[in-house]
Amino acid sequence: MQHDMNEDKNNSTVGKANGGTTNSTAANGFSVQGAEMSLRGEVAANAPNAIEVDHIVKKYGDFTAVNDVSFVVKEGEIFGLLGPNGAGKSTLIRMMTTLIPITSGAARIAGHDVTKEADSVRRTIGVIPQALTSDLDLTVEENMAIYAKLYDVPAKRRKEAIDELLETVDLTKWRGAQTKTLSGGMRRRLEIARGLVHSPRIFFLDEPTTGLDPVSRVAVWEMLTNIKSKRKLTILITTHYMDEADRLCNRIAIVDHGNLVALDTPEALKAAVPGSTVIEIQFDNPPEDWEERLRGLPGVTSVQNESAGMFRVLTANGSGTTTDLVEMAVVCSVTLKTLTVQNTTLDDVFVHYTGRQLRDELVKAHAFVMPPRPGMQP
């Protein structure tokens, strides 16, 4: 697990929010992005509701952190709450998991009302909070055992459960290691295993991969899909990584400023954006009216000027617009520096519904950085 030891201490959100999918630009600066494999499984159409959120509101004084949000998650589903910093994702999770009171509206977990039947809800769920919470001074196994005892897992079942879960998250050989010697990715995997030690039916994970390097992030996704293939589990996950939501989730709710702005499968969300192809194109010193002229090309549904000379063009006719762009550049003697053609991403979905880029929101926000590991050499 060498890669885990090389985690990126800097927040790696920025620049990966745009899908983060395979997007190799060839030496000549031209590339075409292929489709990524999805990690999610199928959900039965007639599956019962695992989570019901009904016109839920959270106010802090005059400030509304969550504003009249409603959704239903089916049993067996991986459901994503996707949104920028401050969108209300953690507040929603805290209300659903009985950690903070609801101002108005209701939430039911496996049929139990979170306000009136909090204990029944707590027995049904596993929760991985946004901050890392494993005890650094205990070993991996001790962290697991403490939770198993806390949740009253019978003694004879405890060892079996811990063995199985450590194997599932690929930490068996680290079971005797002090938790402070683990990388961020390994610690996250330990916490995922720990959160499942009492066999919850519904699992809430708040930004489980924020701050992890790309390899560790994919390892966490694979752990989750692996766990899901072995047990009956409903997963609600929050993230601001587009690619994570796209690959992992059966359905995604996009939240922004406390509001639910869109909810559907990743495919349907992308299909709702006018234009099916995104062309990212960079020119050297384009004329002032260039954006206007790009907008006038046949098939083009939107143009964003991302930075000096760099444009993100959505079009309903990928190949036609690509040809037109190149021809227009040649005719106008504008040098074309790079050109990338890809399918619409959830980034475009976010822009479509909010008018802003998720990655810009993340640049503005204070980034979460994985805390240092006292036991590790720099």
Query: Which residue ranges make up the site for Mg ion (CB under 5 A)?
Result: 89-90, 130
Residues contributing to the site for ligand ATP (CB under 6 A) = 60, 63, 65, 83, 85-91, 130, 240
**320 contacts which partner out of ligand ATP, Mg ion, none, CB within 5 to 8 A by kind?**
none
CB of 13 to ligand ATP, least distance (A): 9
- At 148, list the tokens: 């198993």
**87 contacts which partner out of Mg ion, ligand ATP, none, CB within 5 to 8 A by kind?**
ligand ATP
**16 contacts which partner out of Mg ion, ligand ATP, none, CB within 5 to 8 A by kind?**
none
**How far is Cα 65 from Cα 91, in angstroms, rounded to an integer?**
7
Phi, psi of 71 (to 5 degrees): -165, 165
CB of 97 to ligand ATP, least distance (A): 13
**176 contacts which partner out of ligand ATP, Mg ion, none, CB within 5 to 8 A by kind?**
none
Residue with tokens 């006038």: 296
Q: Decide whether 17 or 314 has the Cβ nearer to ligand ATP.
A: 17
CB of 130 to Mg ion, least distance (A): 5
- Cα distance between the two ends of the chain: 18
Nearest to 249 by CA among 83, 81, 89, 78: 78
**275 contacts which partner out of ligand ATP, Mg ion, none, CB within 5 to 8 A by kind?**
none
**How far is Cα 247 from Cα 306, in angstroms, rounded to an integer?**
25
Q: Which residues are 109's β-sheet partners?
A: 51, 112
Decide: 291 and 313 in contact? Cβ < 8 Å: no
**86 contacts which partner out of ligand ATP, Mg ion, none, CB within 5 to 8 A by kind?**
ligand ATP
Q: Decide whether 93 or 193 has the Cβ nearer to ligand ATP.
A: 93
The one-letter amino acid code at 335 reads: T
Q: Decide whether 5 or 57 has the Cβ nearer to Mg ion.
A: 57
Q: Decide whether 127 or 339 has the Cβ nearer to ligand ATP.
A: 127
Q: Decide whether 89 or 189 has the Cβ nearer to Mg ion.
A: 89
Nearest to 217 by CA among 258, 251, 183, 194: 183
**How far is Cα 247 from Cα 25, in angstroms, rounded to an integer?**
22
- At 265, list the tokens: 């499968």
CB of 133 to ligand ATP, least distance (A): 15
CB of 290 to ligand ATP, least distance (A): 35
C-alpha torsion sign, points 259, 264, 270, 273: negative
